[in-house]
Structure formats: C-alpha cells, structure tokens
C-alpha cells in the first residue's frame, strides 16, 4: 500500500525530524509488512514451556526480550483454541511485553497497574508475582474494566484486586503504598497504525496534545501512591516526543524526589537518555516507549521541619540533680501551705470572688511545626 495514503502527512513530517533519512525510510518500509503476532504463556498454569511447544498446534518462535513470549503465524489463530479459554496464554503485541520486563516484579511486592485494560500488563505482572503480594489492576472506563476482569479471571491469579476508579481517588486511599507502579498511559496510538486501522483514522495532532495533558495528571497522581525507594514504569505505544521524552522531562522537573534510571537493554532496543524506544523497523513488533523512574529514598528531616527540644551541654549537671531539687522544693511548698493554714484560722475569712481565673491548657508554638 502506498505510504502517503497510509500515514497522515503531519505524522510523516514529524517522524522525518525524529529519524535520520535511512532510519525514516526503513520505518516507512516496515508498514509494508504484516503486524507481528504473539502470545505470552501463563506461568501459573504452564509449568513446562518445552512441553507446551511440543503439544500446541501453533508455529511458535521465542520473543527475544520476554522468556514467556512466543511469536505465532497468523493462520494459527490461538484466540480460537480451547487453550486460550483455559487461560494458558494471553495474546499480546510483542513489543508491549517489554514493559513488565523492565518493571521486574518480585514475589510479595505490592504493585499497581494504573491503566490496566485490557489486561496484558496485569496478567504478566500476576504471573511473576506467583500469587504472592498484591496486584491492584485499575481501569477508569467501566466497559473496559469488565474486559479486564474477564481476562484476569481466565488467568487464575488469586492476589488481584480490580478497581474502576479515577487515579486521584485511588491516590487518596493509597498514599505511598505501592512498591512498583506501571503506567501504560492512554496515548495517541501511533504504534497501532499498522495493526488497527481505527487508530490511524482517529489520529490528529490535537489528540496528541490532549493525551499529553492527560498523561501529566496521571503521572502526578501515581507519584503520591509510590513508596520512597519504589519505581514507576511509564510506557506508551506511540512515537510522539510530547507524550514520551517531553512528558518524562516535565515530570522530573516538577517532581525533584524522582530520578530516571538506566535500563539495561538488548542492542536492538534504542536507548535515548535513559529512555527506551522500540521501533517497528528495528524489531518484530509495533513499537513502544518505556521510561523507568525511581522515588528517592531520602529520610524525613524532622529536625528541619519540627520543633525539637535538645539538651544543652550546660544543663547536663542540673538534669542529673533534678530529682533532689524537686524533692526539696516540694517540702518547702508543704511548709508554706502549713503556715498559711495556721494564719487562716486567726484571720477573718474573705468573701470569694464570683469569677475565678483559670490557667489555659495549651502551649503556644511557632508556625511550621509538624502535624501528623
């Protein structure tokens, strides 16, 4: 199919500015090929990969960056097979499998998949958690949340909670709760042009801008839910710098407690300033962007933010004799009280005041004290 009728002119113009001429021509040529098809095995149900490969009727070839991923031929149609209904695998675009590989889930961790539908990232995370820890899979769209629930039910994980909430409401309930968060952000979908014709017809420069604004808000909400020392993986299936590098740079400028981490990658992944780009002309996949962010683990500086009472060196001696002085003072007060009682008997009683003064029961503190 001629490239000019396939790709929007504004999109092509921008890609020319992103890539050198050789890479740009290779990118255009990749759209003459059929999209890559892949499935990812469920480690909760498939314990032996070799046995599955032997018994399955599909033509399988490993996906290099995911040990559970396999390419299949288009005519295999694994989505129609009973194995799929049994949850033995999930059909997933191959480059999207790299996101959770970067996240690197560990058993026992608390993980949030913030934009989870239809469930590719969530099922992959659940497989690595092995029913230990907690996965919260959230989807703001109710219809898509139902699809997410169906896919996770088929997957068979026991430690998954599915939510249908706005990120800001989740942030109110889970402050600094998660060890890891994955944000496969809503985007303009430029990486889906070859696979989904509707993504191509729906694309506009205005949509890129709208998605960028939405992504900014999602990142801010996610930041509040991550514990110090935790990591966020941000990803999109688009090529737009406004939704990728520029998005991350803006976030880091606004959130100094975060830092971008290097990602160890295969040579066929393009790394640009700690960010990963998967291009369809360099891999068998539709393309992806991935960034890994860490929330710095700085201890809370209570001494700087709160009023504290510290012992002065000159007070050490007085503190050591505090008990004796207090005892002496108490005896003096008792003697004075006894003398007053004797004098009171000799003197006529005075009328009591109708209003008595009471001591206030608060301590005045300067502004800036810590509140819990």
For residue 357, the Cα-to-chain-centroid distance in whole angstroms is: 57
CA distance 188 to 211: 6
Q: Is 139 annotated as a binding residue?
A: yes
Per-residue pLDDT, 18: 95
Task: Classify residue 94 by burial, with Cβ atoms within 10 Å: 0-12, 13-18, 19+.
Answer: buried
Q: Is 66 annotated as a binding residue?
A: no
Per-residue pLDDT, 300: 47
pTM of the model: 0.79
Phi, psi of 349 (to 5 degrees): -70, 140
Length of the chain: 372
Q: Is 199 annotated as a binding residue?
A: no
Q: Is 118 annotated as a binding residue?
A: yes
Q: Which of 187, 211, 237, 306 is catalytic?
A: 237
Three-class secondary structure of residue 294 per DSSP: strand
211 in catalytic set: no
CA distance 140 to 152: 16
Q: What is the CATH number of domain 95-295?
A: 3.40.50.150
Task: Classify residue 45 by burial, with Cβ atoms within 10 Å: 0-12, 13-18, 19+.
Answer: middle
Phi, psi of 259 (to 5 degrees): -140, 150
Q: How many CB atoms lie within 10 A of CB 280?
A: 24
CA-based nearest residue to 125, from 110, 143, 144, 147: 110
The dihedral built from the CA positions of residue 264, 235, 247 and 114, taken in this order, carries a sign that is negative
Phi, psi of 193 (to 5 degrees): -55, -40
Whose tokens are 């990969």? That residue is 49
Q: Tens place of pLDDT for every residue, the chain, 372 residues?
A: 334 437 999 999 999 999 999 999 999 999 999 999 999 999 999 999 999 999 999 999 999 999 999 999 999 999 999 999 999 999 999 999 999 999 999 999 999 999 999 999 999 999 999 999 999 999 999 999 999 999 999 999 999 999 999 999 999 999 999 999 999 999 999 999 988 888 899 999 999 999 999 999 999 999 999 999 999 999 999 999 999 999 999 999 999 999 999 998 776 688 877 899 999 999 999 999 999 999 998 744 433 333 232 333 333 333 333 444 445 555 565 555 555 544 444 444 433 333 333 332 222 223 332 322
Three-class secondary structure of residue 94 per DSSP: helix
Give me the DSSP letters along 51-76: HHHHHSSS--EE-TT-TTEEE--GGG
190, 240 contact by CB (below 8 A)? yes
- In the chain, domain spans: 95-295
Q: Is 117 annotated as a binding residue?
A: yes
């Amino acid at each position: 199919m001629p490239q000019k009728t396939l790709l929007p002119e504004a999109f092509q113009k921008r890609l020319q500015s992103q890539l050198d001429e050789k890479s740009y021509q290779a990118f255009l040529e990749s759209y003459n090929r059929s999209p890559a098809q892949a499935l990812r095995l469920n480690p909760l149900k498939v314990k032996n990969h070799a046995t599955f490969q032997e018994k399955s009727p599909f033509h399988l070839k490993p996906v290099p960056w995911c040990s559970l991923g396999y390419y299949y031929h288009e005519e295999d149609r694994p989505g129609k097979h009973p194995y799929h209904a049994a949850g033995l695998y999930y059909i997933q675009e191959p480059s999207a499998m790299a996101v959770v590989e970067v996240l690197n889930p560990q058993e026992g961790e608390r993980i949030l998949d913030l934009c989870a539908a239809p469930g590719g990232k969530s099922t992959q995370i659940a497989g690595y958690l092995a029913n230990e820890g907690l996965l919260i899979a959230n989807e703001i769209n109710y219809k898509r949340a139902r699809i997410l629930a169906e896919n996770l039910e088929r997957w068979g994980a026991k430690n998954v909670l599915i939510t249908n909430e706005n990120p800001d409401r989740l942030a109110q309930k889970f402050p600094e709760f998660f060890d890891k968060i994955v944000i496969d952000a809503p985007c303009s979908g430029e990486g889906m042009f070859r696979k989904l014709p509707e993504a191509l017809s729906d694309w506009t420069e205005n949509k890129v801008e709208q998605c960028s604004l939405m992504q900014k808000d999602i990142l801010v909400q996610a930041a509040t839910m991550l514990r110090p020392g935790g990591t966020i993986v941000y990803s999109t299936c688009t090529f737009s710098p406004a939704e990728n590098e520029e998005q991350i740079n803006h976030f880091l400028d606004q959130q100094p407690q975060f830092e971008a981490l290097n990602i160890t990658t295969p040579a066929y992944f393009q790394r640009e300033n700690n960010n990963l780009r998967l291009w369809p002309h360099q891999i068998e996949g539709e393309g992806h962007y991935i960034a890994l962010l860490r929330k710095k683990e700085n201890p809370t500086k209570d001494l700087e933010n709160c009023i504290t009472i510290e012992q002065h060196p000159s007070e050490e001696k007085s503190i050591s004799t505090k008990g004796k002085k207090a005892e002496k003072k108490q005896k003096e007060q008792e003697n004075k009280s006894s003398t007053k009682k004797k004098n009171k008997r000799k003197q006529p009683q005075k009328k009591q005041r109708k209003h008595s003064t009471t001591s206030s029961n608060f301590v005045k503190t300067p502004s800036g004290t810590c509140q819990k």
